[in-house]
Amino acid sequence: MAALASRRAAAVVLAVAALVSLAAAAGSKTGQVTVFWGRNKDEGSLREACDTGLYTMVIISFLDVYGEGRYHLDLSGHPVGGVGADIKHCQSVGVPVSLSIGGFGAGYSLPSNQSALDLFDHLWNAYFGGRKPGVRRPFGDAWLDGVDLFLEHGTAADRYDVLALELAKHNIRGGPGKPLHLTATPRCEFPPAGYLKRALDTGIFERVHVRIYDDADCEAYWHTAWDEWTAAYPATRFYVGMTASEMTHGWVHPKNVYYDVAPSVQKADNYGGFMIWDRYYDRLSNYTSMVKPYA
Ligand SMILES: *[C@@H]1O[C@H](CO)[C@@H](O)[C@H](O)[C@H]1NC(C)=O
Ligand SMILES: *[C@@H]1O[C@H](CO)[C@@H](O)[C@H](O)[C@H]1NC(C)=O
């Protein structure tokens, strides 16, 4: 009898806790959804992605070679010619467009202050407000809205902090131009690798997208990691990064986005929204259409 009563009491406590967390969630939704674009030629154009009305930011991926004086943009076979016009179109419908550096290749590193300053110089002149003879602008005179760090490897020597500080100086607060959204998209592991931690510890990152998919540890422990991330960087907005592909490890059923992911992440005051990987899978699955109401 006593055991049953205490189990009932526990159930009531759980139910109340669930109500409280749902109430908190309802208060802090943002409706923000960021998507990655550029990883598959068959995902449709950047303009189409923006015209869906689903996304509040699009991140072009990746600038996948840098650090040794060479730079390379990999758009998975998308014709680069029309992208500049598409960027302007996205911006005109209120969707900022950012560029992610790094990715899954081996062609990048940033092993000295000078290489970080050189990368800044390249980014600024090729994609932002700068102009420099000899620096080609792949997207013409389109002026991007941000830089994202998507780093799958690095060493203790890498100076992403120097890059971040230099980019911040060119934010609207630091000079003429427009806001430059500085973001990072790490795996969920906390604390992050030293080269990323040193950059984030500058405290100037606007957003971090924490990937909770495609990594066994993240799938199992992301709730704990999320709490650590959001507590460590209170001035940064945190986005929960989910995959739109049911075939990818760590995919979360939309029902569980509603019952678990959204209420869990929205407990944080600095919750920012959802990040969806990526436009190609999203176009096939319509995942964002299903989960956006919970973002
Ligand atoms: C690199 O830049 C950082 C930050 O500005 C500075 O603290 C450090 O002394 C520099 N290192 C070298 C080797 O110049
Ligand atoms: C996704 O939406 C598109 C357009 O509304 C539709 O044609 C397609 O069948 C949907 N796909 C899935 C898997 O629901």
| pLDDT range class, residue 71, cuts 50, 70, 90 | very high
Residue 11 or 206, more confident: 206
Ligand nearest to the CA of 165: 1
- What distances in angstroms separate CA 27 from CA 40, 142, 217, 256, 266, one per listed residue? 36, 37, 30, 19, 9
* pLDDT for the residue 16: 40
pLDDT of 12 over the 90 cut = no
Q: Report, as an integer, the average pLDDT of 31-48.
A: 98
The rounded Å distance from CA 165 to ligand 1 centre is 11
Catalytic residue among 43, 48, 68, 152: 152
Tokens of 244: 């739109």
Q: What is the mean pLDDT of the chain?
A: 91
Give ligand 2 pocket residues (Cβ under 6 A): 285-286
Q: 98 falls in which pLDDT band (50, 70, 90)?
A: very high
Q: Is 152 a catalytic residue?
A: yes
Q: What is the dihedral of CA 13, 17, 23, 26, to 10 degrees?
A: -150
CA of 83 to the centre of ligand 2 (A): 25
Mean pLDDT on 24-45: 88
Residue nearest to atom 5 of ligand 1 (CA): 162
The predicted pLDDT at position 177 comes to 72
For the cut 60, the answer to whether the pLDDT of residue 17 exceeds it is: no
118-169 pLDDT, tens digit per residue, is 999 999 999 999 999 999 999 999 999 999 999 999 999 999 999 999 999 8
Distance CA 166, CA 119 (A): 10
Residue minimizing CA distance to atom 1 of ligand 1 = 113
Question: What's the gap in Å between 113 CA and the centre of ligand 1?
Answer: 6
Average pLDDT over residues 236-242: 98
Buried b vs exposed e over 250-289: b needs ≥16 C-beta within 10 Å? bbbebeebbeebbbbbbebebbbbbbbbbbbbbbebebbe
Instruction: List CB contacts of 206: < 8 A, sequence separation 6 or more.
Output: 146, 181, 182, 183, 236, 237
Residue-level pLDDT at 7? 46
Q: How much is the pLDDT for 170? A: 84
CA of 286 to the centre of ligand 2 (A): 6
Question: What per-residue confidence (pLDDT) applies to 2?
Answer: 45
Burial 210-242 (b: 16+ CB within 10 A, else e): bbbbbbeebeebbeebbeebbeebeebbbbbbb
Q: What is the pLDDT of residues 163-209, one digit of tens each?
A: 999 999 887 665 557 889 999 999 999 999 999 999 999 999 999 99
The pLDDT score that the predictor gives to residue 9 is 44
What was the pLDDT predicted at 23? Answer: 43
In this prediction, residues 267-276 reach a mean pLDDT of: 97
Question: Of the residues 245, 286, 289, 292, which should be mutated to test ligand 2's pocket, given the most ligand atoms within 8 Å of the CB?
Answer: 286
The binding-site residues of ligand 1, defined as CB within 6 angstroms of any ligand atom, are 113, 162
| Three-state secondary structure call for residue 99 | strand
Mean pLDDT of 56-80: 97
Instruction: Label residue 76 by pLDDT band (50, 70, 90).
Output: very high
Q: What is the mean pLDDT of residues 251-272?
A: 98
